[in-house]
Amino acid sequence: MRIRKLELQGFKSFPDRTVFHFARGISVVVGPNGCGKSNVVDAVKWCLGEQSARSLRGKAMEDVIFAGSEGRGPSGLAEVTLGFEAGDEPFPGEYARFPEIQVTRRLFRGGRAEYLINQQRVRLRDVQDLFLDSGAGNRLYSFIEQGRIGEIVRARPEERRTLVEEAAGIGRYKARRAEAERKLASTLDNLGRLEDVAEEMARRLKELGRQVGRAVRHKLLKARLRQAEVFVGMASYAALVADRRALAERLREAERAGRRPGRRRRPCRRRPPPVAAGP
């Protein structure tokens, strides 16, 4: 991947559309102090997704928009487009089929920001992913600004290690590893929560098991009670039928005994003969 051209409009000291064509080999931007040479590097960094206004030598991100000059009013937006050609290796992912791509970043006064790849709106993340390990990422070794060489020489071993790692192109893997570790931590978190839920469920299941046992026992005992009640009812009925039969027998006995001969009858009370009336 190689930068082929840089197009600026409304960016810092470039109010008009300005195009830099970078031929193969070394390109040099020459000019007197303060003419805007570092603004060219800022434009490249900004287009690649730089998020720190300080690193672009401003206080707020809006400082990258042309602020106006004596004879000219301020711009309403800053726009920078970088044109890349694929070179020896194709572009990564879905852009592999393109021989060239254009990356554009826009910032309007008021804060609206846009990123585009080949004129299609994309997220900042898509731009960052595209350049991961290409050596062109906004934080990578390909930008060595004024004073940076001294910084590198003075850097502590671990800082220098980061630089070497970036240059060796393992940034993508480190980023993936960090992402995987984040996902792993979040999965472990979820797992912990699931274990809590499973424990609670096991407790409730045990309690429900106890309740089911009690319900089954209750049903069984109720059925037995019903059976016993039927038996008792049948037994009482049978006893009552037997009593009735015995009583009926006794009644018949008593009636038979009352009709037997020789048994003194009660004298029947006769009416006295009528007294004859006189002649």
Beta bridge partners of 108: 77
CA–CA distance, 9 with 41 (Å, rounded to integer): 14
| Distance in Å, CB of 35 to ligand ATP, minimum | 5
Q: Identify whether the C-beta of residue 10 lies closer than 8 Å to the C-beta of residue 65.
A: yes
| Residue 117: half-sphere exposure toward Cβ, Cα within 13 Å | 19
| Distance in Å, CB of 50 to ligand ATP, minimum | 15
| Distance in Å, CB of 1 to ligand ATP, minimum | 25
Which of the stretches 60-68, 100-108, 158-166, 268-276 binds ligand ATP when contact is defined by CB under 6 A? 60-68
The residue with its CB nearest to ligand ATP is 38
Residue 66 makes contact with ligand ATP by CB under 6 A: yes
**Nearest alpha carbon to residue 130 among 103, 165, 106:** 103
> Which of the residues 105 through 164 are near ligand ATP (CB under 6 A)?
none
Residue 39 makes contact with ligand ATP by CB under 6 A: yes
> Between residues 60 and 254, which has the closer beta carbon with respect to ligand ATP?
60
DSSP 271: P
Among 4, 6, 7, 12, binds ligand ATP (CB under 6 A): 12
Residue 92 makes contact with ligand ATP by CB under 6 A: no
* Helix/strand/coil for 257: helix
CA–CA distance, 169 with 173 (Å, rounded to integer): 8
CA–CA distance, 120 with 130 (Å, rounded to integer): 14
Among 5, 37, 139, 174, binds ligand ATP (CB under 6 A): 37
Tell me the pairing of strands 100-108 and 77-85.
Answer: antiparallel
Among 36, 102, 163, 165, binds ligand ATP (CB under 6 A): 36
Query: What is the H or E stretch that residue 192 is in?
Result: helix 171-258
Residue 30 makes contact with ligand ATP by CB under 6 A: no
CA–CA distance, 112 with 106 (Å, rounded to integer): 8
Q: Hey, what's the torsion of the CAs at 180, 182, 185, 187, to 10 degrees? A: -70
Among 3, 18, 38, 98, binds ligand ATP (CB under 6 A): 38
> Between residues 20 and 98, which has the closer beta carbon with respect to ligand ATP?
20
Among 31, 93, 150, 274, binds ligand ATP (CB under 6 A): 31
Among 3, 67, 116, 175, binds ligand ATP (CB under 6 A): 67
Binding site for ligand ATP (CB under 6 A): 12-13, 31, 33-39, 63, 65-67
